[in-house]
Amino acid sequence: MTAPEQRYRVLCAASGADFHTCFYCGCVATELDFAPPRAHWQSFFVRQASADNLQVPSCKECHTLLKGCAMGLVEQRREWVHTKLAAKYAKPIAVYLKWTQEELAELDYGFAHSIGAGLRLGEESHRRSNYPGFRYEVDGAVVAASLVQPLPVMVFEQRFDDLKSALVAVSKQYQIKQAKLVEGLADHDNNLEAVVLAHQQQQQQALYRRQLRAACSAFAKQHQQSLRYVTNSVERYLDKDEELSIAEALDKLYQERVRHR
């Protein structure tokens, strides 16, 4: 029977800059994770299931999060960690995505201090839950980690490397607060372009309603009509003929119902 410590090869960072670094999240490594877990090694061996049989440097938190993971491949275990980290730190990550340093500067000290702490934790958590790993050596052979980079974010043919940079740029370009953009992602399947379009449509509808109310108000006052009557009548005209403008609908109302009264 093979001794437990001989079943696993050691994953060593190929670059000195990555020594003592958690392969899963990029923090300081203080523990060793085993892929597959030592308790499941025999099962993987008997079933000839895919397993890396590696000792992987990890931080204490990632090591703890992996206790419920029975997967045998390092990349599978890293994806597990990323999912757990993103869920555990969902609130500070949301703060990081919603707020900018410029907005923070406009807040009073107490609120700014609280949001600032969440922003810093969120930035770190976002980075850790998207950490791409590093090149490593196993038995003297250098292995390129299967880098799982976030997919680029496309917004109206503009390419952004990650969601945060897309949020910052889109917020400035379209004058929409990042918080509103982030909240809209949940309703639009994480499609930032769809969020912008929906916001613009809402703005157009709000502007249209203001224009409609102003025009109907002026008409009602000029011809001594009820504002509700004028508004309801114009809306019915517009519903029946989408090509009518507000002014044309008002003129139609005047010609058909007001002129001869």
**Segment 234-256 mean pLDDT:** 93
- Least Cα distance to 145 among 237, 254, 22, 47 occurs for 22
**Segment 210-228 mean pLDDT:** 95
**pLDDT at residue 146 greater than cutoff 80:** no
The band of 202, judged by pLDDT with boundaries at 50, 70 and 90, is very high
Which of 44-48, 63-67, 75-79, 240-244 is modeled with the greatest confidence?
63-67
**pLDDT at residue 237 greater than cutoff 90:** yes
**pLDDT at residue 260 greater than cutoff 80:** no
pTM, full prediction: 0.68
Q: What DSSP assignment string belongs to 13-39?
A: ESSGGGTTB-TTTSSB--EEEEES-GG
The band of 2, judged by pLDDT with boundaries at 50, 70 and 90, is very low
58 phi/psi in degrees, rounded to 5: -145, 160
Task: Count CB neighbours of 113 within 10 A.
Answer: 11
- Least Cα distance to 52 among 122, 132, 138 occurs for 138
